[in-house]
């Protein structure tokens, strides 16, 4: 049987628990992101204005075709 100090055993257990927690955190961080959601981009890159009613909305998903929530018209990315 291996003789081990109690404080060493507690330290080893806490270190192992930390390693497991860190790996789980990195695993979740890697797999939870949506591909085209860019949270670090500038806000002005996402602002689009409807050419028909002038409604301004923020499109975080960079959709090619956006439907206006006020007049229900569809606008392409190049129209705005």
- Chain residues binding Zn ion by CB under 5 A are 50, 52-53, 55, 68, 70-71
Point out which residues pair with 65 in neighbouring strands.
76
Q: How far is the CB of 71 from Zn ion (least distance, A)?
A: 3
Q: How far is the CB of 47 from Zn ion (least distance, A)?
A: 14
Structure-block tokens of residue 44: 């002005």
Q: How far is the CB of 21 from Zn ion (least distance, A)?
A: 48
Which one, 9 or 69, has the nearer CB to Zn ion? 69
> CA-to-CA distance for 65 and 67, rounded, in angstroms?
7
> CA-to-CA distance for 31 and 24, rounded, in angstroms?
11
């Amino acid at each position: 049987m291996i003789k081990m100090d109690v404080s060493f055993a507690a330290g080893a257990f806490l270190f192992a628990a930390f390693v497991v927690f860190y790996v789980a955190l990195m695993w979740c961080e890697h797999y939870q992101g949506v591909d085209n959601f860019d949270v670090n981009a500038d806000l002005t890159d996402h602002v689009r204005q409807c050419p028909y009613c002038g409604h301004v909305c923020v499109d975080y998903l960079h959709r090619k075709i956006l439907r206006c929530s006020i007049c229900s018209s569809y606008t392409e990315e190049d129209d705005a």
